[in-house]
Amino acid sequence: MNRAIWLLGAALLALGLWRIDASPQRLWDGLAKLGWLISLMWPPSFGGVLPQLLQALAETVAMAFLGTLIAAVLAIPLAACGARNVARFWPLRFAARRFSDSLRGIDTLIWALVFVSAVGMGPFAGILAIAVPDIGVLARTASESLEAADRRPREAIVASGGGALLSLRWGLMPQVLPEYVAQVLYLFESNTRSATILGVVGAGGIGLALTDRMRINQWDEVAGIVLLILVAVAAIDTLSRRIRMRLIRA
């Protein structure tokens, strides 16, 4: 049985490679061109406009931060509506879960195209494009965390006369909040990279500057912008990791 599965997998892989014309010659030619582009990127340059690039990078980070923050706030009530141990009315749970599925089922780049057409080019469209799918992601994970939480604190609050909101706030949320914050921080780091791509479709930020340099073949400046992005992502990753470790220790 295992051998048949491996053979089937190998056959599907070979069929896929043949279908996309992944020939060794094509791969070799691509690597040669990639090496030529890398040689054009050295040494990296900022084109004498480093302050403008840093401002665009700050705009990208701000887009990611605000989009993630909006999603983190709006996902909480949606998660509560989708959790079995919070929302007893099953049509409400079904609607909340399908709504969150529809939000995260569409890629951020597609949402960016939609919002650029709806509200115009600029960072506002990028913030909305980041927030909308993240609401679905966070609502799904938070809903599952609520369902997996210990029910005894909530039952104790209900037994002492507390209502549904009080039992949710003091009985369930303290259990899931550290994990929820860690998930939000991870999405913030991921959204910083996503916000870079959103500039390609007119959502503002450093991605617009990156696209302009690539269009006019200024590959040394492309390398400089990529280095700025890598430094920003590394800094955010380090900060997020420290916050997550503090939450774990707490």
Q: What residues make up the domain containing 34? A: 2-40
Q: Is 45 inside any structural domain?
A: no
The pLDDT tens digits for 189-204 are: 888 887 887 777 777 7
Residues 28 and 56 placed together within one structural domain of the fold: no
One domain, residues 239 and 198:
yes
Q: Is the pLDDT of residue 76 over 70?
A: yes
Does the pLDDT at position 162 exceed 70?
no
Residues 7 and 122 in one domain: no
Phi then psi dihedrals of residue 218, to 5 deg: -90, 75
| Higher-confidence position of 175 and 228 | 228
Domain count, the chain: 2
Q: Is residue 133 located within the same domain as residue 187?
A: yes
* CATH number, residue 72: 1.10.3720.10
Distance CA 88, CA 109 (A): 35
The answer to whether residue 78 is domain-embedded is yes
Q: Which of 233, 249, 219, 212 is nearest to 34 (CA)?
A: 219
Residue 216 within any structural domain of the chain: yes
Instruction: DSSP letter for 47, please.
Output: T
Same domain (yes/no): 31, 150: no
Q: Is the pLDDT of residue 188 over 80?
A: yes
Confidence of residue 11 (pLDDT cuts 50, 70, 90): confident
Number of H helices, E strands in the chain: 11, 0
Residue at 231 is within a domain: yes
The answer to whether the beta carbons of residues 66 and 124 sit under 8 Å apart is: no
pLDDT single digits (tens) 98-151: 888 888 888 888 888 888 888 877 788 888 888 889 898 888 888 877 777 667
Residue 249's pLDDT band, with cuts at 50, 70 and 90, is: low
Amino acid at 84: R
The alpha helices in 41-172, defined as continuous H runs, are 50-82, 90-104, 108-119, 123-148, 152-159, 164-167
**Rounded distance between C-alpha atoms, residue 63 and residue 131, angstroms:** 9
The pLDDT of residue 223 is above 80 = yes
Q: What is the pLDDT of residues 34-57, one digit of tens each?
A: 777 777 778 877 777 788 888 888
Three-class SS of residue 30? Answer: helix
